[in-house]
Chain A
Amino acid sequence: MRSDYLLSQLDVLESESIHIMREVAAEFERPALLFSGGKDSIVMLALAEKAFRPANIPFPVMHIDTGHNFPEVIDFRDRRAAELGVRLIVASVQESIDSGRAVEETGRWVSRNRLQTVTLLDAIEEQRFDALFGGARRDEEKARAKERVFSFRDEFGQWDPKNQRPELWNLYNARIKRGEHIRVFPLSNWTELDIWDYIERENLEIPSIYYAHERLVFERDGILLADNEYLTRTEDEQPFMATVRYRTVGDMTITGAVVSGATTVAEVITEVAATRITERGATRADDRTSEAAMEDRKREGYF
């Protein structure tokens, strides 16, 4: 500890996130943490562990499983939850489709991205959750840059960006009526680089697909997609082996890989620091739909 009472940016961010998590644990009856096995939710879960130590994390974790996830990530999710002894709830998009609550998209960009909202909102209602931690960061996307840390959702799960609750200092308004809920974003002020710096500093384990590996991929609209059973390639889309890694982890159908030789956290950090393209821009087909794709999905209740 230094005598000038200065904290590093990671310490400031960590303290802010821990404060937010404790506030939720104190003010809500049934919170849950959305855990995808991606790097942001891994950091969020590590912060939750720190916030309540030596007690256990006082809420369950939930994964909205599209059925199109990378197997490496699902393995990691199950292992990590077991290690921490937290209750893992898996809400399945396939079940939503089977029960007729959601309808599978068709076409070239078949994606279950948007269907997740149905499964998510159903799970919130069924489990009667009143607060959900999400790992979204404001530096990711321009609609997210506008969202509060405590983001109110009405009984339909909708976000109203023009009517957000003012949020001052470190005071968060947790009051809701039955059926409404709050999405809580403890990583709001973290950047992609902060996440990687923290993973390095805390020596956090992450799924192997974040590091460079050999994979059969094909190119579509400038995005390198893993050759997988859920996507039908056209004749022009010939698969080839490449050394790649993932900057974000989502569905295999929409998450692109980047060509990389980075096999350690330090090498990833060097790459991230030098990149000239945002992580969603480089790798997410779901944001390319329109200028306001994220805002529109968030209004409907998306993460």
Chain B
Amino acid sequence: MDILRFATAGSVDDGKSTLIGRLLFDSKAIFEDQLASVERTSRDRGEEGTNLALLTDGLRAEREQGITIDVAYRYFATPRRKFIIADTPGHIQYTRNMVTGASTADLAIILVDARNGLTEQSRRHAFLTTLLRVPHLVLAVNKMDLVGYDQQVFEEICEEFSKFATKLEVQDLTFIPISALNGDNVVDRSANMPWYDGPSLLHHLEHLHIASDRNLIDVRFPVQYVIRPHASSDPELHDYRGYAGQVAGGVLKPGDEVLHMPSGFSTRIKKIELAGKEVEEAFPPMSVTLLLDDDVDISRGDLICRPNNRPAAAQDIEGMVCWMSADRPLAPRSRLVVKHTTRTVKAIVTDLHYRIDVNTLHRDETATQLGLNEIGRVRMRLTQPVFADPYSRNRLTGGMILIDEASNTTVGTVMITDAR
């Protein structure tokens, strides 16, 4: 059984909580005491019916305001797959939390109310999802029961979204008409929409092919930690030097010729260990330890790749930034700390090319700074090189976070478009 991570975007009004509640309930992942607690709270608050949003809106402030502020993670499993839901907030002021949830997602579900069609919010969610390159996108047209299960309503929304999607880099798009409240096309195909011949939402989630989403071609192994057993009674371990890390790309095998960055030195993989046991190959997202033929001076922040397929050792980065700080804006000459794979360096913003309007996708080239939750394209200069690929090629070697040197908080994220 494998894992599918998916993010849900949309507001309570679109029926997001009802949909999550329905998926959890039908897969028996809601427990009686949770349901009882939600029912009790709904009743105490004088609400009609059971407010399923209370299942995921776990914070006091969220319950008070009736909105999702931060990502909630929920878990359920079917006999085919384990699922991790990142239930992300829809409001624009919590964009940074939606970005957090989308960064690790294999799939995103964007919910649209069939009565309202596409809104500014659904366009923004689609843009953010593709900015983070979530490989699979589902547009779930909800509340079909309230439009009489009308095929034409569904198709008009699909058409409008498809037209909008041509402006985005959507890799895989699926449209599903549903009623989360009644369960139409959520778990089982609905008899109310005989004109729809696609899969139910759960069937789609269960059968989606995600293995190819990882980059298994470009070998990328950021060295995270060097394992050197000290004071060991075992003489065989005296010379043990293991390079521990999580494979970010490609397939590694013992005997493979590899290249160390930044030195450019080549050697071969002697052995690969997984939790102390020898294995025959390593691929993403395995956390392994590499033992090499030659003694090379390798430390945290270095990278192991193949001699004929290297990332850029880049000090000049072009990329899309999502700014996440209310305390300070991002502007040319801003100084920041950058964390990229296992390497932390300093950086200065050299240029802000444009700010993008997340609702209309209009590029404002006169922008002089980015505020909280704003997105734009920047150029940065780093004090030390990072070993980077374009984000479109590899989400792990193409993404970086930006940290404020004074407050230590994470203030932004970069999806690299060009590294040199």
Contact = CB atoms under 8 A, between A and B. Distances in A.
A176 B408 CA distance: 6
Nearest to A55: B229
B37 interface: yes
B203 interface: no
A15 B286 contact: yes
A165 B72 contact: no
Contacts of A127: none
B244 interface: yes
Given A5-B211, A55-B230, 19 more contacts: A5-B214, A5-B283, A16-B285, A19-B224, A19-B285, A19-B287, A22-B224, A22-B245, A25-B225, A26-B224, A54-B276, A56-B229, A142-B55, A146-B59, A162-B59, A164-B70, A167-B410, A170-B396, A191-B75
Contact of A295 (B58, B285, B341, B408): B58
A168 B34 CA distance: 29
Closest 10 CB pairs of A and B: A142-B58, A281-B33, A53-B276, A50-B275, A175-B408, A168-B103, A18-B287, A55-B229, A15-B287, A22-B225
B337 interface: yes
Interface in A93-147: 138-139, 141-143, 145-146
Interface string B225-259: 10111101010010010101110000100000000
B33 A282 contact: yes
A166 B224 contact: no
Interface string A154-187: 0000000110111111110101110000000000
Contacts of B2: 6-9, 12
A55 B243 CA distance: 12
A166 B246 contact: no
Contacts of B285: 7, 12, 15-16, 19, 170
A23 interface: yes
* Best-buried of A23, A138, A173, A282 by chain B (most CB within 10 Å): A173
20 contacts: A19-B287, A23-B225, A26-B342, A53-B276, A55-B227, A55-B230, A56-B230, A143-B58, A161-B61, A162-B59, A166-B97, A168-B99, A170-B246, A171-B400, A173-B401, A173-B409, A175-B408, A277-B33, A281-B34, A295-B59
Interface in B273-302: 273, 275-276, 279-281, 283, 285-287, 300
For this complex, into which size category does the number of interface residues on chain A fall? 35 or more
A142 B63 CA distance: 12
* Best-buried of B60, B230, B400, B413 by chain A (most CB within 10 Å): B60
A162 B31 contact: no
A171 B60 CA distance: 28
Contacts of B337: 175
Interface string B49-92: 00000011011110100000111111101000010100000000
A282 B214 CA distance: 40
A138 B56 CA distance: 11
B73 A145 contact: yes
Nearest to B401: A171
A188 interface: yes
A14 interface: yes
State the main secondary structure of chain A at its contact with B. Answer: loop
B73 A51 contact: no
A282 B55 CA distance: 17
B257 to A, nearest CB: 21
* Best-buried of A19, A141, A188, A275 by chain B (most CB within 10 Å): A19
A173 B340 CA distance: 11
A146 B399 CA distance: 23
A278 interface: yes
A4 interface: yes
Contacts of A291: 37, 41, 63
A289 B335 CA distance: 47
Contacts of A15: 246, 285-287
Contacts of A169: 103-104, 395-396, 399
Contacts of B70: 146, 161-162, 164
A276 interface: yes
Contacts of A162: 59, 61, 69-70
Nearest to A280: B33
B339 interface: yes
Nearest to B33: A281
A162 B70 CA distance: 8
State the main secondary structure of chain B at its contact with A. Answer: mixed
A31 B123 CA distance: 43
A5 B103 contact: no
Contacts of A9: 1-3, 82
A204 interface: no
Contact of A143 (B1, B59, B341, B413): B59
A19 B287 CA distance: 6
Nearest to A5: B283
Interface string B30-53: 011110010001000000000000
Contact of A22 (B244, B273, B324): B244
A52 interface: yes
Contacts of A141: 58
A189 interface: yes
B103 to A, nearest CB: 4
A266 interface: no
A166 B225 contact: no
A166 B214 contact: no
Interface in B96-139: 96-97, 99-100, 103-104
Nearest to B408: A175
A160 to B, nearest CB: 11
B216 interface: yes
A241 interface: no
Nearest to A180: B408
B403 interface: yes
A90 interface: no
A15 B400 CA distance: 21
Given A53-B276, A281-B33, A295 B60 contact: yes
A4 B281 CA distance: 12
B72 A53 contact: no
Contacts of B32: 276-277, 281
Interface in A263-303: 275-278, 281-282, 291-292, 295-296
Given A9-B82, A166-B410, A22 B211 contact: no
A145 B342 contact: no
A47 B276 CA distance: 11
